[in-house]
Amino acid sequence: MRLMRRGNRGGRRRAPALALAALLAGGALLAGCTSSGMGDESGGDAANEASAEFDGTEDAEGGLPSEDATREGAEGEAGAEDSADLSTVAEVPDPSQLIQTATLTVAVESVPESYAEAVRLTQAAGGYVSDESTTGGEDEPYSTLTLRVPKEGYAGLLGDLAELGELSSRELTTEDVGDQIVDTESRLETQRESIDRVRDLMEEATTLDEIVRLESELSTRQAELESLEARLEALRGQTAMATVTLELYREGEPAPQPVEEEDERPSVLDALLGGVEFVWLVLVWIAIAVGAALPVVALLAVLWLLWRLLRPRLPLDRLRTSRPVPPPPVAAPPPLPRPAHAPEAPDAAGRSTPENGS
C-alpha cells in the first residue's frame, strides 16, 4: 500500500513537471514561429526596399528598366509600329490629283448685293462664274452661282463667302482621280507608240490595198488618241480648279431645299396612270379637233342652205328651164313585106332556085 501511494505521489509530482515542460516547449515553438514570421516580413520589406532602390538606381543610371518602364516601352513600340503601318497603308494623295467641290447656302440681307460681292471675291481669287441662275423675282429672290477658282484661293474664298451672311449649310467633297490620270496617261503613251508603228508599216507598204488599210487603221487610232487627250485635259482642268456652288437667299425666307432624286423604275400603278393619262389626252385632242372644226362645218352648212334656196332663182337655171325641148327623132318606116310567091332566080348553072328556100 505504501508503495502504491508513493507511486501515486510520484505520478502527481511528475504531472506538473510534464505540464510545465509542455508549456515551455509550446512557448518556444510559438516564439520560433513568430520570430520566423517577423523575419520573413522584415526580409520581405528589406527585399522590397532593396528592389525599389535597385530599380531607382537602375532607372536613374540608365541601367535595366523597371517593369512599368518595360511595359510602357513595349506599348510605345507597338503604337509606333501601328502608326508606321497606317502611314504606309493610308498614303496622302497628291493634291494636284484631287477634284474639290463645295456647296454653301447663305442667308443674306440683300441677294443682289451679296451676288455682286460674291462675283468680286471670286474674281479677286483668280476665278470666274461658270453658271448662274436667279428665281423667285424681287420679293423672294434665290440666286445660285457656280464658281470656278484655283486651288490656291479655294480655302480663302470659302471663308469670304461664308461671311456674306448667315451660313445655313456647308458641304465639301473631295474625289481622288489620280488612278484615272495615271491610267489615261499610260493609255496615251501606248496609243502614241501604236500610231508610230502603223506609220512605219505605211512606209514599208508596197501595194495600194495595204496602204488603204493602214490609213484606215491610222485614222481610227488617231481618233482614239484625241479622245484620250481630251479626257486627260478635262481631268487636269477639274483638278486645277475647284468648284464652289453658292446659294443665296434672303434672311427670314425658307432656305432652298435640295431636289430629291426620284426612283426612275416604273411601277404597275405608274403604268396604269400612264394609260389613263394617254386616253385622257386622246379625248382632249379629239375634243379640240371637233371644237376647231365646228365653225367650219357651220359655215359650210349655211352656204349649202343658201345655195339650195337661191339656185332656182339664178339666171343660168332660168335659161336651162326656158330653152325649148327639141322634138324626138322620127322613126324610120318599117321595110315593106316581100310577096309570097316571088319568081325564082336562076343560078350559075341556069337552074332556077327559090330565094327563100321554098
Q: Percentage of residues in the chain with pLDDT exceeding 90?
A: 31
Can you tell me whether residue 33 is helix, strand or coil? helix
Distance CA 94, CA 174 (A): 12
* Tens of pLDDT, residues 8-18: 444 444 444 45
Average pLDDT, the chain: 73
| Domain layout of the chain by residue ranges | 1-63, 93-256
Q: Could you tell me the maximum CA-CA distance found in the chain, to the nearest angstrom?
A: 232
Query: Measured in Å, how far apart are the chain's first and last C-alpha atoms?
Result: 221
Listed in sequence order, the residues at least 6 apart from 181 whose beta carbon sits closer than 8 Å to its beta carbon are 97, 232, 235, 236, 239
Please tell me the predicted confidence (pLDDT) of residue 157.
92
pTM of the entire structure?
Answer: 0.45
Question: Which cell numbers hold the place of 122?
Answer: 471670286
CA–CA distances in Å: residue 353 to residues 227, 334, 337, 341, 343: 114, 28, 20, 13, 9
pLDDT confidence bin for 337, thresholds 50/70/90: low
Question: Which cell numbers hold the place of 175?
Answer: 474625289
Whether 4 has a pLDDT exceeding 70, the answer reads no
Give the distance, in angstroms, between the CA of residue 29 and the centroid of all CA atoms in the same chain.
91
pLDDT confidence bin for 64, thresholds 50/70/90: very low
Whether 351 has a pLDDT exceeding 80, the answer reads no
